[in-house]
Amino acid sequence: MIKAQEHRSQEQNREEALQRLQDLINSAIAIPKPRKSSKPTRSSQRKRLDSKTKRSQIKAMRGKVTDE
């Protein structure tokens, strides 16, 4: 339900309500632009691999100490 009470006349309020309904319908109909997928940058790939290497080294150090 769309309610309009800004104007003093009923006709102007009705026109405003119809205009708001039309705007609402037009915004619902609009199709969003599809997202274009892109490659990750070289620096972001490098950072990711570096963090994985660092994390694996931390985890490798958690192993049991062997007496030799």
pLDDT digit string, tens, across residues 39-55: 999 999 999 999 999 99
Cα 64 to chain centroid, rounded: 44
**Which alpha helices (H) appear in the chain, and where do they start and end?**
10-29, 42-60
Does residue 65 register a pLDDT over 90?
no
| pLDDT tens, position by position, 3-36 | 889 889 999 999 999 999 999 999 999 898 999 9
Is 40 a domain residue? no
Is 55 a domain residue? no
* pLDDT at res. 22: 95
* pLDDT at res. 16: 95
Q: Is 14 helix (H, G, I), strand (E, B) or coil?
A: helix
Q: Write the CA distances from 15 to 11, 22, 27, 48, 54, integer angstroms.
A: 6, 10, 18, 57, 65
Identify which of 16, 19, 39 has the alpha carbon closest to the alpha carbon of residue 27: 19
Is 11 a domain residue? yes
Is 2 a domain residue? yes
Domain that includes residue 25, residue range: 1-30
Number of domains composing the chain: 1
* pLDDT at res. 43: 97
